[in-house]
Structure 1
């Protein structure tokens, strides 16, 4: 009897570990976790209290301000400002680029991104994980679509002399964003500069400069 209990407990623990390892956004059917109260960290709105306004978001036709150091502006539309997305596992972003504007190397830890170029010409790319670290890159023009797999470093760079616009579809209602430079050199509190100097094989003075700048 004791052996049978131990076997059942082991199977239960393995099943739990498997469910946690594969955890992602809920499907359109919603989530059964936490008695269907929480979904991806957000309360579900009572269906009887929803209105048509919960299912519409307007204003993505308006160009965004790109007068910044990077020359780009990302307008993310997720469940925080678009309640109708909650439990659906999707999000959208408009990305505006000034001439030679850059959406710098970054990661979406919970989403694959599908980028559609609306105007302009973009140089895009992503890097695979260790040990290969292969760069997949392409020049995109109006109407072209490119996919960035979940969790991989990727970027977009406007190589044209005119403004560019793209729309990104993400398969998560809360895709997350980790900008590589900001996370590495702009953490709070800062990462020990000796750690970064050794990791990047740079002089500590260079690391200090980057940390102060970012």
Structure 2
């Protein structure tokens, strides 16, 4: 598009008709010859360590879960003062607490994940994962889990839970029954976890300086490999 004081002009850009690099190369852009098109280069040191602000654009903090509806999100608040399960959506654009839901149920929740018809919340203080029917108004189950951490819904069914005591990732079914280990070892202290549309599992590990390294693994692989955001 021509960004000057005249009518805007558009061109259809694809991997056949696209951008040509300027003489001497370009800065801060990547993907000039990729079918997906150009992208901004990630702001991080050699794309290895990432700060929280950049990471959160790609992987939400463990306390936040995206719902299935438009502008729908869930949030678990820390303790103190009080751990609550909050909900917001397009028809109610202020955070509210579904009742009775998690009221007086959670003690120190740290992570939330959203499935097709239920919500899972990690509460390591109670050594448990709580399951609620969407949109969080009804408690439907409690799963004993010694030290649950970040959790995500698995598109192929169930939940993936980071075991903070054993440093692995456990695969549970939708009811919270353990299916087995998804990953027997993780490369660090996992701060958040998600699954992309290609069914790759991504984790972010918090480093000593407060920044993060990101890793991914497929269902068929046995070990996580270092990832980048570029």
What's the TM-score once normalised by structure 2's chain length? 0.24
Structure ranking higher in helix proportion? 1
Greater RCO between the two (CA within 8 Å, min separation 6)?
A: 1
Structure ranking higher in strand proportion? 2
What's the TM-score once normalised by structure 1's chain length? 0.25
